[in-house]
């Protein structure tokens, strides 16, 4: 049993859907599960829809119409007959989404987000499943919410592994081609949950773990895992082999190719993960498995933009000790701040965070009651794994360094 995952860039238009089919035809598709993300930038477009639902209802239908129009164009490019059942199926999903907006009474943004954002995945997989059936690649369309069960921590739900394993063991047909959605699950009350942005990779790993799959392949628009994001760094190098441990380190620091949660279930069962190009499916790509940390050995560069650096010092020049640090982390947890780097001295404490839930102002107000606080918005956090002096110098050139921290294998630098 193999698991394939196709991201939004791979199915952004009709040609992308046709190429997905071509990849399956070239690599084989029996005993295969295909996990698919929303098409193109649909998730971003849906976030605008949700924003309008809360803040500008006059623009809600207009923004939703853009999402409908985008998918209708893909449908018309893929299917000659507008009476094809896929048109009815997609319309039914959009009608369901509209009904939710009209009937919902909850003011909870995170709940509304999870009930609506996943329609992108439901629609993309519906279109792809119908297209594959039409060209002779017979498949089962599965609603992932019937399989992956989670708690109700909306927007970053935690998997109930025991229930998920049972659902997959009992209800999954291993002998055929199956198509399902990434990113989604459901809570004990069957409300939709999401696994966090870029969670489709994690979905593939969850199924692979439960199915004891032979491998997971993530199909992307890059030749594999590179030692740097080519959007921000020049001369990026393809990494042919990465160990699980090294990949987990890179993911922890923010490498965008592999989701941080994806690797842990795969490592437990030693299921290899391949990252390959959907434009060149026969190329080797990158293999993440047991073995050498990196092949070839090279510094790996990671950047996280739009971070917040908070510098704290004690009001009375007393030491910042365990009690203070405990309180700081309690507040960071309370306001759901993702901590990326910390640094402390006798009377100061600095932390670089990702303000996912937009709780910056509430956090700062709380901190100012006990500390002197300096906040730097829109900073960039650079991480170099297996750094060299030359790599650090090149990175720091023409930048204002606000924080720098070195360990044996890793340097992290916050710049403005």
Six-digit token pair at 271? 């299921």
Which residue pairs, CB below 8 angstroms and at least 24 apart, start in 356-359? 359/335
Task: Tell me the DSSP string of 221-244.
Answer: SSSS-BSS-TTTSSS--B-SEEEH
Q: Give the whole-angstrom CA distance, residue 286 versus residue 283.
A: 9
For residue 254, what are the CA distances in angstroms to 154, 195, 305, 338? 22, 16, 10, 12
**What is the CB neighbour count within 10 angstroms for residue 86?**
20
Helix, strand, or coil here: 411? strand
Q: Give the whole-angstrom CA distance, residue 140 versus residue 143.
A: 10
pLDDT digits (tens, 9 = 90+) for 332-374: 999 999 999 999 999 999 999 999 899 999 999 999 999 999 9
Q: What is the mean pLDDT of each run of 10 residues along the chain (416 residues)?
A: 97 98 97 98 97 98 98 98 97 98 98 98 98 98 98 97 98 97 98 90 97 97 92 93 93 80 94 96 95 92 97 94 95 96 96 95 96 98 97 96 97 98
Six-digit token pair at 60? 């809600």
Helix, strand, or coil here: 256? coil
Q: Which of 243, 231, 226 is nearest to 298 (CA)?
A: 226
Report the relative pairing of strands 273-277 and 286-289 from DSSP bridges. antiparallel
Q: Give the whole-angstrom CA distance, residue 352 versus residue 305.
A: 11
**What is the CB neighbour count within 10 angstroms for residue 384?**
23
Length of the chain in terms of residues written: 416
Element of type H or E holding 196: none
Q: Which of 189, 337, 198, 219 is nearest to 283 (CA)?
A: 219
Task: Tell me the DSSP string of 100-130.
Answer: HHHH-----HHHHHHHHHTHHHHHHHHHHHH
Q: Give the whole-angstrom CA distance, residue 235 versus residue 238.
A: 10
Q: Which of 411, 220, 399 is nearest to 299 (CA)?
A: 411
Q: Which of 90, 1, 89 is nearest to 39 (CA)?
A: 90
Q: Give the whole-angstrom CA distance, residue 183 versus residue 109.
A: 18
* CATH code, 2-220: 3.40.1160.10
Q: Which of 164, 230, 220, 152 is nearest to 4 (CA)?
A: 220
Cis amide prior to 342 (ω within 30 degrees): no
- What residues have CB less than 8 Å from 307, skipping those under 6 apart? 340, 352, 353, 354, 378, 379, 380, 381, 414
Element of type H or E holding 288: strand 286-289
For CA atoms 288, 293, 294, 295, the dihedral sign is: negative
Q: Give the whole-angstrom CA distance, residue 338 versus residue 258.
A: 18
* CATH code, 300-415: 3.30.2130.10
Q: Give the whole-angstrom CA distance, residue 146 versus residue 168.
A: 9
For residue 141, what are the CA distances in angstroms to 55, 197, 296, 391? 35, 23, 40, 48
Q: Where are the domains of the chain?
A: 2-220, 300-415
Rounded to a whole number, what is the distance in angstroms from the first to the last CA of the chain? 47
> Global pTM?
0.84
């Amino acid at each position: 049993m193999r698991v394939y995952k196709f991201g939004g860039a791979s199915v952004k238009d009709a040609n992308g859907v046709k190429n997905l089919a071509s990849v399956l035809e070239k690599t084989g598709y029996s005993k295969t599960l295909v996990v698919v993300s929303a098409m193109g930038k649909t998730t971003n477009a849906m976030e605008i829809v949700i924003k309008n639902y809360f803040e500008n209802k006059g623009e809600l239908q207009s923004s939703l119409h853009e999402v409908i129009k985008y998918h209708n164009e893909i449908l018309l490019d893929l299917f000659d007959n507008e009476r094809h059942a896929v048109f009815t199926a997609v319309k039914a999903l959009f009608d369901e989404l509209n009904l939710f907006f009209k009937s919902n009474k909850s003011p909870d943004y995170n709940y509304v987000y999870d009930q609506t954002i996943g329609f992108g995945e439901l629609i993309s997989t519906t279109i792809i499943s119908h297209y594959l059936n039409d060209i002779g690649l017979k498949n089962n369309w599965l609603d992932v919410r019937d399989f992956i069960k989670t708690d109700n921590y909306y927007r970053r739900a935690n998997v109930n592994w025991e229930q998920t394993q049972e659902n997959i063991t009992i209800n999954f047909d291993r002998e055929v081609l199956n198509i399902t959605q990434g990113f989604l699950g459901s809570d004990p009350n069957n409300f939709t949950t999401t696994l966090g942005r870029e969670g489709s990779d994690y979905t593939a790993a969850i199924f692979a773990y439960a199915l004891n799959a032979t491998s997971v392949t993530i199909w992307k628009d890059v030749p594999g895992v590179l030692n740097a994001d080519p959007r921000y760094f020049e001369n990026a190098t393809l990494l042919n082999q990465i160990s699980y441990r090294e990949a987990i380190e890179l993911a922890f620091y923010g490498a965008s190719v592999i989701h941080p949660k994806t690797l842990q279930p795969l490592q437990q069962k030693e299921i290899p993960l391949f990252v390959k190009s959907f434009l060149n499916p026969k190329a080797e790509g990158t293999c993440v498995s047991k073995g050498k940390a990196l092949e070839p050995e090279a510094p790996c560069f990671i950047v996280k933009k739009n971070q917040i650096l908070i510098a704290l010092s004690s009001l009375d020049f007393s030491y910042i000790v365990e009690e203070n640090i405990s309180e700081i982390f309690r507040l960071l947890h309370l306001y759901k701040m993702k901590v990326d780097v910390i640094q402390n001295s006798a009377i100061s404490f600095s932390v670089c965070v990702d303000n996912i839930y937009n709780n910056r102002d509430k956090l700062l107000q709380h901190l100012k009651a006990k500390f002197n606080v300096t906040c730097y918005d829109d900073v960039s956090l650079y991480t170099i794994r297996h750094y060299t002096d030359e790599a650090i110098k090149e990175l720091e050139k023409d930048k204002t360094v606000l924080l720098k921290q070195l360990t044996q294998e890793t340097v992290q630098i916050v710049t403005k």
